[in-house]
Structure 1
Amino acid sequence: MALARRRQCQALVATLLSAQALQAPTVSRPRRHISMSAAAGVVKAAPQVITIDPIGTLVRRAGPEGLLYRDALLAATGLMLPRPDIFQGVYEQAYAAAGPRFGTNSEGAEAWWKKVTKATYDGVLTAEPVVYDADELALYESAFDDIFRSLHDDLTLSDEAWVVDPDAPRLLSALRQWRDYGGPRIVAATDHFDDRLEQLLANLLGGDCVAATFDHVVTGTGQASCFDITTSTMDVQDAACKHVAVADDGRCPYDTLVVDPRDYENERSDDARGSLLDLLDDWGLERAEGDDVVVTSRTYSVYDAEYPGFDGENMEQA
Structure 2
Amino acid sequence: MKHVDVVVIGGGQSGLAAAGALREQGVTPVVLEASGQAAGSWPDFYDSLTLFSPARFSSLPGLPFGGDGDRYPHRDEVVAYLAHYADHLGVEIRTRARVEAVESDSGGFIVRTNDGRVITAAGVVAATGAFANPLRPTFPGQEGFTGELLHVADYRSPKPYAGKRVVIVGGGNSAVQVGYELADAAEVTLASRAPIYLLPQVREGKDIHHWLTSTGFDQLPPQWLVHVVGGTLVLDAGRYRRALESASLKRRPMFTALDGDAVAWADGTREAVDVVLLATGYRPSLEYLRPLGALDADGAPLHSGGISTTHPGLVYLGLEFQRSFASNTLRGVGRDADYVIPPLAAHVRKAPAAAGL
- TM-score range normalised by the length of the shorter chain: under 0.3
**TM-score (normalizing by structure 2):** 0.25
Bigger helix share: 1
By percentage of residues, which structure has more strand? 2
Which of these two proteins has the greater Rg computed from alpha carbons? 1
TM-score (norm 1): 0.27
